[in-house]
């Protein structure tokens, strides 16, 4: 089963948002 281009972009966007949220959490604790 292959992901469509739309699904791939959605996953990348979701992972990016999680990454940004994680970085913000880390900075908030410092």
CB-based contact 17:25 (threshold 8 Å): no
Distance, CA of 26 to CA of 9 (rounded, Å): 26
Torsion of CA 18, 22, 27, 28, to 10 degrees: 100
For every one of its 30 residues, what pLDDT tens digit does the chain have, with 9 covering 90 and above? 576 999 999 999 999 999 999 999 988 776
What is the pLDDT, as a whole number, of residue 1?
56
What is the pLDDT, as a whole number, of residue 30?
65
- 3: CB partners within 8 A, 6+ apart: 11
Would the pTM of this model clear 0.75, i.e. be above it? no
């Amino acid at each position: 089963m292959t992901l469509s281009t739309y699904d791939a972009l959605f996953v990348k966007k979701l992972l990016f948002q999680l990454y940004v949220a994680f970085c913000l959490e880390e900075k908030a604790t410092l």
